[in-house]
Amino acid sequence: MIGRTAAEAISEGSRLAEFSRLFLANRSAMLGATIVLIAVVVALLSSWLAPTDYARTNMLFVWEPPGDDFVLGTDALGRDVFSRLIVGARVSLTIALSVLAIALTVGTAAGMAAAWNGGWIDSLVMRTADITFAFPELIIAILVAAILGPGILTVIISLSLVSWPGIARIVRALVLTLRGELYIDAAIVCGTPPTQILLRHCLPNIVPALIVRASVGVGFIVMAEATLSFLGLGVQEPLPSWGGMIRDGLTALRTDPHLSLAAGAALGTTIIGFNLLGDGLRDLLDPRIRER
């Protein structure tokens, strides 16, 4: 590729300016972005923000009510609920990010391979995706959990398994339309190797669609992880997870409702944030919707 011309650079710059103007004007997207930002900052700084060690048990202070010593009280093992809530953000977001990274990589590679090669590779990838879609998500997780046993690995594998086909389908469709473009033909004529065409010429055109897909998908992944952890199939003690904290709190719902409700509020707010942000980005980046 030759260097960008000045005109291109300007139009690129004004597109970005236009994008940020529209994004800043979209109130619900901004609300979502703020929530996500707070969640990310809390997750990154969790080691400093948590008042005590999330795993330290103290049998002298079990079921403490919220107060000066413990902002949100303590659980059945005397662990500080507030600290566990904060570290829970890190656990939740780390898992979501890992799943997203795996699903995006596998999905993009599979979608590109299917679109570029066609033939049996295309059939194999797309039929595998179809069959994966035919299983309800939680059922795949149950199958994986039965084989691997409960744990973080089970969560990451099962959620990656259900997340890659959607990405592969989008990437395949986009690469198929891009193949008709003149600059791709030019690259082929120049003898550019296919991997380079796909990565340097196709990928940049796919990125906006992937960003939309990813931002809409994070909320789902966070919810699915919490669901698996709630059922006991996901994150295991002593590591805190919002889903697990809600389940643990259920036994004490009558006397200490704040245990379940605080974790539920953190989880619900975070997912709302991701979904608002994702919807906002989709409205802005998906040209089909913008034209309306």
Partner 1 sequence: MSAYVVRRLLGLLPVLAAAIVLTFAANQFVPGDPVTVMLGDQGGNVELEQKLRREYGLDRPLPVQFADYLAKLARGDFGLSFRYPSVPVTQVIRDALWISPSLAAAALVLALPIGISLGIVAALRRNTLADTGIILVLVAGLSIPNFALAAFFVWIFALKLGWAPVAGWTSWRHAVLPVALLAIPAAAYLARLARTFMLEVLQQDYVRTARAKGLPERLVVWRHSLRNVLVPILTVCGVIFGTLITGTVVIETIFNIPGLGRIAIDSIFARDYPVTMAIVMLFTFFYAIINFIVDVLYGIVDPRIRISR
| Using rule CB under 8 A, residue 284 touches partner 1 | no
Binding part of the chain for partner 1, among 66-74, 103-111, 158-166, 265-273 by CB under 8 A, reads 265-273
CB of 272 to partner 1, least distance (A): 4
We find the least distance from the C-beta atom of residue 107 to partner 1, in angstroms, to be: 19
Rounded to the nearest angstrom, the gap between the alpha carbon of residue 193 and the centroid of all alpha carbons in its chain is 32
Q: Site for partner 1 (CB under 8 A): which residue of 192, 247, 283, 286?
A: 247
State the SS3 of 116-131: HHCHHHHHHHHHHHHH
Which lies closer to partner 1 via its Cβ, residue 54 or residue 274?
Answer: 274
Compute and round to an integer the Cα radius of gyration of the chain: 23
x/- mask, partner 1, residues 215-244, rule CB under 8 A, reads ----x---x--xx--xxxx---------x-
The amino acid present at 40, given as its one-letter code, is V
The span from the CA of 26 to the CA of 36, in Å, is 15
Q: In angstroms, what is the minimal distance from the CB of 73 to partner 1?
A: 15
* Structure-block tokens of residue 251: 């036994």
263 binds partner 1 (CB under 8 A): yes
Residue 58 backbone phi and psi in degrees, to 5: -150, 100
Output the smallest distance, CB 232 to partner 1, in A.
7
Residues 43-102 that bind partner 1 (CB under 8 A): none
Token pair in block for residue 269 = 């707010």
The yes or no reply on residue 192 touching partner 1 (CB under 8 A) is: no
268 part of the interface to partner 1, by CB under 8 A: yes
Interface pattern 132-151 for partner 1 (x via CB under 8 A): --xxxxxx--xx-xxx-xx-
* Number of chain residues interacting with partner 1 (CB under 8 A): 46
User: Which residues pair with residue 80 across a beta bridge?
Assistant: 74
Q: What is the DSSP letter of 74?
A: B
Contact partners, residue 128, CB within 8 Å, separation at least 6: 165
User: What is the amino acid identity at position 139?
Assistant: I
Interaction site with partner 1 (CB under 8 A): 28, 127, 130-131, 134-139, 142-143, 145-147, 149-150, 219, 223, 226-227, 230-233, 243, 246-247, 249-250, 253-254, 257, 260-261, 263-265, 267-268, 271-272, 274-276, 279
